[in-house]
Structure 1
């Protein structure tokens, strides 16, 4: 197959361009000899920056060497990198697919709010380019390489749907790979869970700077039974617990729960009536 006929994949992340997960994903994709691979990723770690973008100062984009790929390190957020990579300022054409990751951890439930990994994929989706956010693996290149290789059939299937113009345009995918990826049990479609993320804090001390507070991210579930607190409680988490690779379609904007919509539909007319000029006039009497 000629290079011009190859489909193009652009990779970004929030762990930074030197992160082992990104390096492993590039290697896995290049090993197929099927794709043109581009990289546009932060020049340093930008974890948990959510969908923040840079507005008031210039970004730098530096060409870096990643064997087999065309790569740029950018002094911005994952959303910045996705946007710049799709602007045609760095690359001559749009890619067929954007993959954000592969990063360590999981993006269950409301992790997606603060996830820079998800934001990189979401920004591509906003630009109208199919995108996948991908997390999993442990900590070294080999672990991430196994996770990336496990996702190659999914990536190939998505690109085939794109090529044949069958791929849906109203969502992007969030992929969570279980830690024990060697023994994974295939792919499973899930819905976004309702697990809530809260920041925990602990005090640390410094001889030169005094006391400081260090944040740690924790996951809270809907369970109120302490004995159940360590167990997965949502479909998404249960699938990871069972060593399945979860595929969760996401949208750019998360809709409110149906019961909330019903409540506000009946509540708002009363507020509107109380805010009318005639009602305000009556209160002044």
Structure 2
């Protein structure tokens, strides 16, 4: 099956997915902006319910159910699987007659920077496309409760439109590299952003703890994103814990945050930039960690034998 850019009189095809679910305002705003630009053929293949923080999990042993959904200007399907499932199915040729030229995952409710990229289903939606040699972008908006509004998603999508368009131009001209994918985060005050900043993934993370609760109600609301600035009153995550059989109930809670050195994605996002971070899929150790084991591994057997004496 061929991509659509082989014919210059055709619009390029963009497929949208996410982890917040097909009804999420971030996805709907993104699709509206893409459709209204009249530049793209738009497909949607997204989870039928929220799948935040599922990382790159996939459905393996069981089939997924698929239902067509009415979204103006797009061909859209809701899928019972994960974001990675949705991308895999959407680019496979089994669901749509055309393979998309570009996969866009988002717009997520809450930023995805630093170590949170590992948890993110939004990023996984783009990474799955990368695994299959299809250009991809994950997009997240730094939602803050009491400050952000649903209209900010539209501004975020419009701010990303030049990036999407130029990527597709490069794809058409066969100049776009397939050695990675892009992760874009948009600042809370997106209307007054400071411009685009090429960044690298940092090590920022929210330190999580656990506390015991006596009931599902006491557990409180879970946020829809790994980023805790999101509005906990905006949406909730269903807690499926029970007390049946005398099981204990524990709930995650935030116990602080770590933001690493400057010149990383989280730092520039907090300064008001739209951060554009190239990502890959290989987890390579830092040089000093790698070099430690260069001498350590050959001595393992000898050291083990000596300690047994």
TM-score (normalised: structure 1): 0.87
How far apart are the structure 1 equivalents of 2:105 and 2:81? 15
Q: Does the Cα contact within 8 Å between 2:142 and 2:185 map onto a contact in 1? A: no
Q: Which residue of 2 aligns with 1:206?
A: 215
Matched, 1:85 2:90: yes
How many residue pairs align between the two structures? 271
1:138-217 maps to which residues of 2 (within 5 A)?
138=143, 140-206=149-215, 212-216=249-253
Cα–Cα, structure 1 residues 65 and 261, in superposed 2: closer, same or farther, change >3 Å? same
1:1-285 maps to which residues of 2 (within 5 A)?
5-136=10-141, 138=143, 140-206=149-215, 212-216=249-253, 220-221=257-258, 235-271=264-300
After superposition, give the CA deviation of every residue in 1:229-252 in whole Å (9 maximum; x if it has no partner). Answer: xxx855322211221100001101
How far apart are the structure 1 equivalents of 2:142 and 2:9? 32
Q: Does the Cα contact within 8 Å between 2:207 and 2:258 map onto a contact in 1? A: no
How far apart are the structure 1 equivalents of 2:278 and 2:271? 20
Between stretches 199-208 and 124-133, larger displacement belongs to 199-208
After superposition, give the CA deviation of every residue in 1:134-173 in whole Å (9 maximum; x if it has no partner). Answer: 0005365312111111111111111111111111111100
How far apart are the structure 2 equivalents of 1:271 and 1:121? 40
SS at match of 1:188: strand
After superposition, give the CA deviation of every residue in 1:83-139 in whole Å (9 maximum; x if it has no partner). Answer: 111111111121110000001111111001110001100011001100001000536
Decide which structure has greater helix share: 1
How far apart are the structure 2 equivalents of 1:245 and 1:156? 16
Q: Which residue of 2 aligns with 1:226?
A: none
CA RMSD of aligned residues (A): 2.6
Q: Does the Cα contact within 8 Å between 1:137 and 1:147 map onto a contact in 2? A: no
Q: Which residue of 2 aligns with 1:229?
A: none
Report the CA distance between 1:266 and its aligned residue.
1.7
SS at match of 1:5: coil
How far apart are the structure 2 equivalents of 1:85 and 1:207? 36
Cα–Cα, structure 1 residues 217 and 252, in superposed 2: closer, same or farther, change >3 Å? farther
Between stretches 151-160 and 32-41, larger displacement belongs to 151-160
How far apart are the structure 2 equivalents of 1:120 and 1:240? 21
Q: Which runs of 5+ in 1 are unaligned?
A: 224-231
